[in-house]
């Protein structure tokens, strides 16, 4: 379209100049011709500008620094925010963030971990939150137990519950939890988890030495009974 317009303008220009020279004297000034050429050049430049603007509108060019943006995963962003607060020991804020995650993304694959960290938010705030922590830990334990594969959070849940039971002076419950902990294969335990287990055992021994003595006596008596029974001669029943 623009090419046609340019062709038309040039044709009119040559036609005009031919007529002008044919009807004028040889000595006629050439100022008018030059003015007309300048006017035509101005119009041609204007047409070219309009053509470029039309092209840019139809085929816009992206900025040089533009790059495709991946859609943000709102679920992961919320979970990572909550976990970051937990790692910074901002437990009250982390608790609210995990609550938001569990409320709005209840079908997410990380909900199991969110329940665990929510429970640990209570536990890490100390004895004043042990009641809430106990309920939340039992809930997380049940949720994780329903999974097909063992969770790496289970040892931490057992240790946290054992710590709460120890704080409550429930030595029987503490021992039961530690016994369950000891059933986990060592290769599935971290060094930190093993250290916490040993530390709690030392505190139990210090706080309840008589309990440990009774346990040792029971174990010793059982061993002696087994040895004595094994050393007795077999009796033949009378007919």
pLDDT digits (tens, 9 = 90+) for 88-101: 999 999 999 999 99
In whole angstroms, how far apart are CA 169 and each of 55, 110, 159, 172, 207? 82, 34, 15, 9, 10
Contact 78, 104 (CB under 8 A): yes
Please tell me what DSSP assigns to residue 208.
Answer: -
Q: For position 124, what pLDDT does the model report?
A: 97
CB 123 within 8 A of CB 133: yes
So what's the pLDDT on residue 34?
Answer: 63
pLDDT tens-digit map of 40-72: 677 766 666 666 655 544 544 444 444 444 445
Query: What Å distances lie between residue 118 and 90, 98, 151, 168, CA to CA?
Result: 12, 6, 16, 21
Question: d(Cα 96, Cα 90) in Å, to the nearest integer?
Answer: 10
The residue ranking higher by pLDDT, 26 or 158, is 158
Q: Where are the domains of the chain?
A: 74-147, 152-218
Whether this prediction's pTM lies above 0.85 is answered by no
Task: Give the mean pLDDT of 131-143.
Answer: 95
Question: Higher-confidence residue: 46 or 37?
Answer: 46
DSSP annotation of 151: -
Under the banding of pLDDT at 50, 70 and 90, the label for residue 237 is very low
Three-state secondary structure call for residue 13: helix
pLDDT in tens, 1-19: 555 555 555 555 554 555 4
**Taking all residues of the chain, what is their mean pLDDT, rounded to a whole number?**
77
DSSP state of 63: P
Taking residues 180-207, what's their average pLDDT? 95
Q: Is the pLDDT of residue 233 over 80?
A: no
Provide mean pLDDT across the span 104-130: 95
**Residue 108 exposed, middle or buried by CB count within 10 Å (0-12, 13-18, 19+):** middle
150 versus 66: the higher-pLDDT residue is 150
Reduced to 3 states (helix: H, G, I; strand: E, B; else coil), residue 74 is helix
**pLDDT for res 149:** 83
Closest CA to 158 of 181, 136, 135: 181
């Amino acid at each position: 379209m623009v090419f046609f317009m340019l062709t038309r303008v040039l044709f009119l220009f040559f036609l005009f100049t031919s007529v002008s020279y044919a009807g004028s004297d040889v000595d006629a000034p050439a100022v008018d011709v030059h003015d007309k050429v300048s006017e035509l050049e101005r119009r041609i430049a204007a047409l070219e500008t309009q053509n470029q603007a039309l092209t840019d509108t139809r085929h816009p060019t992206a900025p040089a620094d533009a790059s495709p943006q991946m859609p943000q995963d709102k679920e992961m962003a919320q979970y990572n925010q909550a976990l970051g607060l937990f790692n910074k020991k901002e437990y009250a804020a982390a608790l609210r963030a995990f609550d938001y995650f569990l409320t709005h993304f209840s079908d997410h694959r990380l909900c199991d971990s969110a329940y665990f960290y929510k429970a640990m938010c209570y536990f890490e705030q100390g004895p004043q939150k042990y009641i809430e922590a106990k309920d939340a830990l039992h809930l997380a334990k049940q949720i994780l137990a329903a999974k097909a594969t063992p969770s790496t959070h289970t040892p931490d849940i057992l240790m946290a519950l054992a710590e709460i039971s120890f704080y409550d002076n429930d030595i029987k419950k503490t021992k039961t939890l530690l016994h369950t902990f000891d059933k986990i294969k060592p290769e599935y335990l971290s060094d930190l988890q093993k250290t916490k287990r040993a530390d709690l055992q030392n505190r139990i021994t210090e706080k309840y030495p008589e309990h440990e003595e009774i346990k040792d006596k029971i174990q010793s008596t059982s061993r002696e009974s087994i040895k004595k029974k094994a050393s007795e001669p077999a009796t033949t029943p009378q007919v």
